[in-house]
Structures are given as structure tokens and as C-alpha cells.
């Protein structure tokens, strides 16, 4: 076998084409072309086998590594368990919507970065509360007359 | 009898920064309200003040609960048997 633009047949595996072009064969000559067809067929088979062998050596079988220690039956059982648990969770989550908590603001960082409540505001609130309390304490029962009276018959 | 309280609430609302005021008793029953705060807020306001008071062991210490939002602050405070909430815009 050879590759393009050379008649060198001992270049090594690194440059050897996977599927050799029979028209470029320099040493095989016309003998193979006019030779027996079965031998050509077996040659191709051998080449295919060698290609497959080389590919199999470089393949890493991930599925073989992952499924170590887990049987198919156990795998299916676990998958079913997880899916039922997820269904239950999804149902409870969907029941919790709608959320009844109102959203105080759409810009929380702005509110958090705003000025703190001033001490004067707190003092004003205390004063308002104290006045309200004194106003409430003025609400009292004003007894004008007896509630229970004697009927004289 | 409630004239003094009503007058006091009106006077409170005269402050331009205050847009709402609410006065409730310890059970959340509304005693008087103005502006943005109304009957439906009475329960929440009284419970918030009560829960905040349980944060401290000192019974005379009355904390002020502040609800801050971009539409002003709501300040809640208990005085004796009543709870007062004031909705104040940021000045």
C-alpha cells in the first residue's frame, strides 16, 4: 500500500490510510485487479477487521463503567420511586401557589439602601401614641341614671 | 366620648408626610383610622406589635416595628392597651 504522491510502502501506521485506494497500489500491480475476486473480498474483510480492532482499542465504553453495581431491576425501581416522590412534591408545590404574601417592593435594594427611620420619627410616633392613649382613656361610661328601676304598680 | 380620639387622629393627619394612621386595641379591634390604613389592617398591626414585644423580657420596653417599602414606612407602636400605626412617606 502507499499513499498519495509516493511509492514508499513502509511509511508506518500513522500515515497509513484506513481504506486504501486500490488504484494507488504500486506493488500490488495489475495482478490483484485481474486476480481472483474471493481473495480481494477476504483482503477487504481483513482490512475492515483491522480497522474495527483499532477503533475498539481507542473507544472508552462509558456505559459499562456507569452501570457497575446497579441491576436493571433495581434501576427501574429507583426510577419509579423518584418519579412518584417528584409527583407528590410537584402537587404540593402547585397547591401552595398562589402566594398570599404581598410584595412590598419591586426594588428591594433601593429600599434597603434608603435612609433609616429617623429618631425624630420615632419620637413623633411615641407622642402620637401617648396622646391617643390619653384620648382613649377619656372614653368612660357616664352613669346618668339607674339602669334598674322599680315599677310601682 | 370618642371626640378627643377623633380630633387627635385628624390633627395627626394634618402632618403632610403622614398618609395614614390607625389605632387598635390589644385584640386588633379598630378604634379609629384615617387615610391609607383602615379596618382590615387592625389585626395585623396589633399582632405585629405583640410579637415584637415578646422579643424583650422588659415589659416596660415598647418596641417600634417599622415596615419599610418604596411607598413609605409604616411605624407601629404599643402604648398601654392600644396599638398605633402611622404610615409616613419618606421626606
Write the pLDDT tens digit of every residue in A89-104: 888 877 766 666 777 6
Question: What CA–CA distance (Å, rounded) separates B12 from A14?
Answer: 93
Among A121, A126, A135, select the one facing B4 at the smallest CB separation.
Answer: A135
**With a CB-CB cutoff of 8 Å, which residues 3-42 of chain B face chain A?**
4-5, 7-9, 12, 21, 23, 31-32
DSSP three-state, residue A47? helix
B2-19 residue pLDDT tens = 889 999 999 999 999 999
Helices A119-137 and B3-13 cross at an angle (nearest 10°) of 160
Instruction: Determine the average pLDDT of the residues in A71-92.
Output: 91
Of the listed ranges A97-106, A115-124, A140-149, B48-57, the least confidently predicted one is A97-106
Whether A138 has its CB under 8 Å from any CB of chain B: the answer is yes
Does the pLDDT value for residue A7 go beyond 80?
no
The pTM score is: 0.55
CA distance A12 to A32: 22
> What is the pLDDT at residue A6?
54
Q: What is the DSSP letter of B55?
A: T
CA distance A26 to B24: 107
Structure confidence by residue, pLDDT tens digits, A99-120: 667 776 788 888 888 888 899 9
Q: Identify the residue with better confidence: B52 or A63.
A: B52
Q: Is A2 exposed, middle or buried (0-12, 13-18, 19+ CB in 10 A)?
A: buried
Q: Which of A67-71, A89-93, B41-45 has the lowest mean pLDDT?
A: A67-71
ipTM metric? 0.92
Beta bridge mates, B21: B34, B86
Cα separations in angstroms, B53 against A111, B62, B64, B76: 25, 6, 9, 11
Amino acid at each position: 500500500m502507499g499513499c498519495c504522491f509516493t511509492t514508499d510502502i513502509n511509511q508506518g501506521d500513522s500515515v497509513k490510510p484506513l481504506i486504501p485506494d486500490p488504484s494507488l497500489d504500486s506493488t500490488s500491480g495489475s495482478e490483484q485487479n485481474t486476480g481472483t475476486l474471493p481473495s480481494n473480498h477476504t483482503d477487504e474483510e481483513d482490512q475492515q477487521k483491522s480497522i474495527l480492532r483499532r477503533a475498539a482499542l481507542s473507544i472508552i465504553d462509558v456505559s459499562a463503567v456507569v452501570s457497575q453495581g446497579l441491576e436493571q431491576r433495581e434501576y427501574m425501581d429507583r426510577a419509579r420511586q423518584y418519579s412518584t416522590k417528584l409527583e407528590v412534591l410537584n402537587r404540593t408545590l402547585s397547591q401552595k401557589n398562589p402566594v398570599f404574601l404581598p410584595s412590598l417592593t419591586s426594588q428591594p435594594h433601593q429600599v434597603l439602601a434608603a435612609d433609616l427611620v429617623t429618631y425624630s420619627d420615632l419620637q413623633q410616633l411615641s407622642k402620637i401614641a401617648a396622646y391617643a392613649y390619653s384620648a382613649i382613656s377619656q372614653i368612660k361610661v357616664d352613669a346618668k341614671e339607674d339602669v334598674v328601676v322599680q315599677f310601682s304598680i | 366620648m370618642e371626640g378627643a380620639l377623633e380630633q387627635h387622629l385628624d390633627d395627626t393627619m394634618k402632618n403632610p408626610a403622614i398618609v395614614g394612621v390607625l389605632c387598635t386595641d390589644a385584640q386588633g379591634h379598630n378604634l379609629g383610622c384615617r387615610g391609607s390604613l383602615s379596618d382590615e389592617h387592625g389585626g395585623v398591626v396589633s399582632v405585629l406589635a405583640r410579637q415584637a414585644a415578646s422579643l424583650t423580657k422588659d415589659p416596660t420596653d415598647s418596641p417600634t416595628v417599622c415596615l419599610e417599602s418604596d411607598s413609605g414606612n409604616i411605624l407601629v407602636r404599643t402604648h398601654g392597651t392600644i396599638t398605633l400605626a402611622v404610615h409616613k412617606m419618606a421626606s
